[in-house]
Amino acid sequence: MQRLFTTCAALLIASGAQAQDLSPHAQNLFLRTVAHEMGHAVIREFDLPVLTSEEMMADDFATVFLATHMPDRVVDITNAFVKFEFNDNDQEGFYSEYLDGERRAGRATCLLYGIDPERFGDIAAQMGLDGDDAQNCAQTAPEIARSWRRVMVPYMMPADARVTEVGLGAEPDSRFAPMLRASGTLEDAFDMLALVDWHSMVRLNVVQCDGSAGWARNGRRITVCDAYIQRFVESE
């Protein structure tokens, strides 16, 4: 696949700026976050049926997508996600479409294990996934993974296509944008986004803000806040 980076001028951080190191743990959480928001983008851009909580669908998309397209990193990414969710563990309300942090971690582990029990047995063992629970995951996860793979077939980029509809951007005062770029994590995120044949330009923005991350169909942007990346750092 030919690649063309379309970056905001702000991403070209001043030449004198020194990028500090960002830990692999934080890098992996960033990629997991981008994959999750890609799930929302795919659902909305291609008008996929929402037959359960969209948050759960986006989580499942992220796990299947990473297992399929980043097989060498999916275990480290999922381990980072599990650690973050257990440490962060927001307690959601009774009617929330979000799962509690521990449930999100458990579902990701179950799905990954069920996709390939032999390959991903170690992460299941670390989470105490065994017995009837492991058997259930091995039975249900392949159906979820196959469903996502089949749904995505019409929307994947041809291998030899030139990528022109993915953009990267950052605010000049973003603390973490230079670190993400220096570590190659922004390039990894670009590669993930470039696998999908989007209708029109989709941008990934790293900005200085106090929120977390989200997909905005108005403007077709995935935004990740510095404050959220700071939580990644602190969760290690």
Cα–Cα separations (whole angstroms), residue 26 to 20, 95, 185, 220, 234: 13, 30, 10, 25, 9
pLDDT band at 89 (very low <50, low <70, confident <90, very high): low
Residue 19: what pLDDT?
53
Cα–Cα distance, 61 to 79 (Å, whole number): 17
In the chain, pLDDT over 70 holds for what percent of residues?
91
**pTM score > 0.85 for this model?**
yes
pLDDT digits (tens, 9 = 90+) for 136-191: 999 999 999 999 999 999 999 998 899 999 999 988 999 999 999 999 999 999 99
∠ at Cα 196 (73, 81), nearest 5°?
30
Tell me what pLDDT residue 126 has. 92
Distance CA 190, CA 193 (A): 5
Q: Residue 110 pLDDT > 90, yes or no?
A: yes
